[in-house]
Structure 1
């Protein structure tokens, strides 16, 4: 089972990727082009500081975020979401105070999120690989 993009750390070899999605509170359409540009900068700064990688970020319909991120296995996916949402909300609300008028209690992000692991190999391929391990000598 050969994989590209493996990262070699001191105690492990890994390739951990996640697709994260969350929305603006009340699905308010506040993520215009200017805010989106700044949000992408903020996300990359957060990731660098906290020890993970943001490969890709896109804003959908001005009201939700899609992010493709990766991290060492010791970095919890929920930690990445917490850092991205919390720090970005604080910074965006300070830099763009006018968006508070669209949000109740000044909360930028919805409290929930969607997360999915992303791999370069399908579940079926992994299951077949593992099943074949017992057949090898």
Structure 2
């Protein structure tokens, strides 16, 4: 990852985000997969988040995204899930009645992992040796 900058911050933050369809229905195939992929890419672009990698599986999504520090990873997932669900159900209305009767497309659960350029052991050593280097 490369350093990102805005007017008051320099950061290098990446998130691995995974979310599943409700009931793990395998509906993200064909045109629904394309709609999902385009919706997520457009949402990230509109919100100024850098979508580094994206893979759409039939029943879940893997995203690698970078965002400024003031943007919570939960906000990224909530926004992407909400906008993509509306887009997918609008474009493919047959999915709503067949598999997701009266409920949303995505499971409420989400996995978040952080991605950085140094390990946790390196950070711990750096913090523990501050006084020695002071």
Fold-level similarity (TM above 0.5): yes
Work out the CA distance in 1 between the residues paired with 2:67 and 2:8.
14
The corresponding residue for 1:16 is 13
Structure 2, unaligned runs of 5 or more: none
Q: Deviation string for 1:72-125 (max 9, x for gaps)?
A: 111121111111000000000010112121112142111121111111211011
Does 2:85 correspond to 1:89?
yes
**Equivalent residue for 2:71, pick from 70, 75, 85:** 75
The SS at the match of 1:128 is: helix
Name the counterpart of 2:129: 132
Is 1:112–2:109 an aligned residue pair?
yes
Query: Cα distance, 1:38 vs. partner?
Result: 2.1
Using the alignment, how far apart are the partners of 2:7 and 2:15 within structure 1?
22
Taking the aligned partners of 2:129 and 2:30, their CA distance within structure 1 comes to 50
Q: CA RMSD in A?
A: 1.4
Find the aligned partners of 1:110 and 1:104 in 2 and give their Cα distance. 14
- 2:32 aligned residue: 35
TM-score by length of 2: 0.91
After superposing on structure 2, the runs of 4+ consecutive aligned residues of structure 1 that deviate more than 3 Å are none
TM-score (norm 1): 0.90
Q: CA deviation at 1:37?
A: 2.0
Partner SS for 2:108? coil
Count of matched residue positions in the alignment of Structure 1 and Structure 2: 133
SS in 2 for 1:87: helix
Partner SS, residue 33 of structure 2? helix
